[in-house]
Amino acid sequence: MAEALDSTGRAVLLSAITTIIGFISLALTPMKPIQTVGYSLAMGIVVVYVMTMIMVPNLTMMLDLKKPSHPPPKAFVAAVSVPINWTKLTLSLFLVAMLISAGYSRPNVEENVDLLEMAPEGVGAVDKMKTYSTEFEAGQPGFLLIDADVSASPEIFNTNFDGNDPYSKLVGIEELEGKCNQVNQTTAVSIVFLMKAIAVGVDLDGDPINEPIQDNEFVPDQIKELSAIIFDREVSGNGSFWWSLAALDQQPSGGTESQNFLINVFYNSLTLEMRNLFISEDYKQSLIYIDMPFMDVKSTENAVSQIDNYAQQDTGGVGVTSSKLIGVASVTIEVNNLVVGSQWTSLLFALLFTVFTLGLVFRDIRYAILTTIPVAFTVFMQWLVMDQGSVSLSLVTVMIGSILVGVGVDFSIHIANRVKELGGSIDAIRIACASTGMSLTEAVTVTIAGMFCAYYIPIPAIAPFIDVIIILLILAAISALILLPAIYSLLVKANISLTGGSGTMAKAAGLRRTLTREQGDIMDATLVMDSQDVW
């Protein structure tokens, strides 16, 4: 047990540290849900490591568990012989696969977020939202904030109403609303929409009412114009407030005062709550409501881009300015951009800090980099796996890279630690990989079995994530058993030492069990190559 804790225990500690590094890198993302996942997984590994180191040795001794020793399975011996005997060919195949993934498959992986796919299935509210989104083309509400003074005077005879012309501002708002409605699957509604929906008129022939007004010489022209617009119709209900305002605009005198009066009448015909939905209390700002169905982020981004383009265009030079679209669609796009950016930040941190940690423990930065190469290969292969499986980059799949660094580096650490203990020769590489291969296979099998439980989570976005993780875990084990020995063998065949020191030489010579601490100086002396240093 003491030997196991001294040898395998060190590798387990390294695995725990590097796994924590991979998971804690998720905390660097600017999104709280992913940060929570990172902290939770990292603390989980701490608990697992402590419980393992306390319970496994005790349970092993209490239950007197003994695993019979046996030579490595022939399949692993044969598999390890391939990278050792055909080193350059093996490295070439891995390099080609990595280039295909990074060069060809990576551009094909869509950086796409679909919010409804991240919602659980079978929930009434979610199902109704999907129905609402499909049938009513709605679900992602947004707003355009319009800066324009649309206040109107109640004084029909006030010809000096601050020079304000609310109708021209409303025309600008209508123009922007109409452009937004041209965007595919988009609905825009403003205060002008209400003006078009509410009719102005009476339920009888308007001529008897209009004629006395028009014939009376004492009635001001403004009243006559307004009366002609409202009452000079044969059929009721075919004239809205907006139609009346447009007709007044065609009058020779312009009809500005009458328009102001009619607009003021319209404002006061609305309830306060309804009016405040579209216009601020001081009438200086108004809203255009934009709604669109739940779509993937690429379709959403296309629609938002068109709306923002219309919002920034000149609306006739009447003092109407608009903000860019704000709301659910805009937030979805920003989340997607954060997903892409945070992936590289967390992944780079995980890789660099893993190399740094291994360098401190192995006391050899070159050996640490070599040990991390299979993990980097596995991370590069995620694009090929996602491309072949038509899996897009989302809030869930963005964590794949960091999780792979945390979990996949364990395989390489156990082999690297074993190779270092055995002296770093070709035989050491063969023995370490063949003997450790069975344990890694068992570890991968158990991990995959645990991942299978996630398929029962009723969230559509989870299944593709599990598929990719399982495939990449298998690739991580293969790269540790094939790629890592190929790298080590290439260096050994080139007479580049993997590791050294008296401790390593003693272990390689089988002296470890026969020497005590007091004999350490003698051991060092007998293993020094220079006779002068011995004396």
* Three-class secondary structure assignment of 83-144: HHHCHHHHHHHHHHHHHHHHHHHHHHCCECCCHHHHCCCCCHHHHHHHHHHHHHCCECCEEE
- Alpha-carbon distance of 279 to 24, in angstroms, equals 47
**pLDDT score of 481:** 86
pLDDT digits (tens, 9 = 90+) for 396-423: 677 777 777 777 777 788 788 778 777 7
For residues 351-378, average pLDDT: 82
pLDDT band (50, 70, 90) for residue 251: low
For residues 307-332, average pLDDT: 82
pLDDT digits (tens, 9 = 90+) for 226-250: 555 555 544 444 567 787 777 766 6
Q: Mean pLDDT, the chain, as a whole number? A: 77
AA letter at 9: G
Tell me the angle at which helices 462-478 and 426-452 cross, rounded to the nearest 10 degrees.
Answer: 170
Across the strands, what pairs with 467? Answer: none
DSSP designation for 483: I
Task: Compute φ and ψ for 184, nearest 5 degrees.
Answer: -60, 130
Structural domains in the chain, CATH included, are 2-108+338-491 (1.20.1640.10), 136-200+239-324 (no CATH), 501-535 (no CATH)
DSSP designation for 395: T
CA distances from 322 to 286, 316, 424 (A): 10, 13, 69
**pLDDT score of 93:** 92
**Closest by CA position to 489, among listed 85, 78, 98:** 85
Residue 213 has pLDDT above 60, yes or no: no
**pLDDT score of 43:** 93
- Alpha-carbon distance of 21 to 491, in angstroms, equals 28
3 state SS of 421: helix
CA distances from 521 to 421, 499, 533 (A): 19, 20, 12
Which residue bears the tokens 């694009």? 383
Token pair, residue 313, equals 């265009």
Beta strands in 264-335 (DSSP E): 285-291, 321-322, 326-327
Strands 326-327, 285-291: pairing is: unpaired
Residue 147 has pLDDT above 50, yes or no: yes
pLDDT band (50, 70, 90) for residue 357: confident
**pLDDT score of 525:** 42
**Closest by CA position to 318, among listed 152, 136, 165:** 165
Residue 365 has pLDDT above 80, yes or no: yes
Residues 6 or more apart whose CB falls under 8 angstroms from that of 58 comprise none
3 state SS of 500: coil
**pLDDT score of 46:** 92
In this structure, of 16-20, 503-507, 518-522, the range with the lowest mean pLDDT score is 518-522
**pLDDT score of 243:** 78
Residues 6 or more apart whose CB falls under 8 angstroms from that of 306 comprise 183
Please, are residues 222 and 215 in contact by the beta-carbon 8 Å criterion? no
pLDDT digits (tens, 9 = 90+) for 45-89: 999 999 988 898 888 888 887 776 667 777 878 888 888 889 889
- Alpha-carbon distance of 10 to 510, in angstroms, equals 19
**pLDDT score of 219:** 54
**pLDDT score of 163:** 59
Burial of 467 (0-12, 13-18, 19+ CB in 10 A): middle
For residues 140-166, average pLDDT: 74
CA distances from 211 to 145, 218, 233 (A): 44, 14, 12
In this structure, of 246-250, 482-486, 530-534, the range with the lowest mean pLDDT score is 530-534
In this structure, of 82-91, 255-264, 375-384, the range with the lowest mean pLDDT score is 255-264
Residue 295 has pLDDT above 50, yes or no: yes
**pLDDT score of 373:** 87
pLDDT band (50, 70, 90) for residue 224: low
Residue 533 has pLDDT above 50, yes or no: no
Tell me the angle at which helices 2-24 and 32-62 cross, rounded to the nearest 10 degrees.
Answer: 170
Please, are residues 472 and 404 in contact by the beta-carbon 8 Å criterion? yes
Please, are residues 521 and 533 in contact by the beta-carbon 8 Å criterion? no
Please, are residues 1 and 57 in contact by the beta-carbon 8 Å criterion? yes
Please, are residues 407 and 446 in contact by the beta-carbon 8 Å criterion? no
Residue 496 has pLDDT above 50, yes or no: yes
In this structure, of 250-264, 380-394, 421-435, the range with the lowest mean pLDDT score is 250-264
DSSP designation for 338: H
- pTM of the entire structure? 0.66
**DSSP assignments along 146-191, one per residue:** EE------S-TT-S-STT--HHHHHHHHHHHHHHHHTSTT-EEE-H
**pLDDT score of 96:** 93
pLDDT band (50, 70, 90) for residue 287: very high
pLDDT band (50, 70, 90) for residue 222: low
- Alpha-carbon distance of 322 to 314, in angstroms, equals 10
pLDDT digits (tens, 9 = 90+) for 418-433: 787 777 788 888 888 8
Question: Residues, the chain, total?
Answer: 535
Element counts in the chain: helices (H) and strands (E): 23, 5
CB atoms within 10 A of CB 449: 9
**pLDDT score of 204:** 38
Residue 512 has pLDDT above 50, yes or no: no
Please, are residues 227 and 257 in contact by the beta-carbon 8 Å criterion? no
* Cα-to-chain-centroid distance, residue 65: 46
**pLDDT score of 51:** 92
Strands 326-327, 142-147: pairing is: antiparallel
Residues 6 or more apart whose CB falls under 8 angstroms from that of 125 comprise none
- Alpha-carbon distance of 160 to 157, in angstroms, equals 9
Residue 95 has pLDDT above 80, yes or no: yes
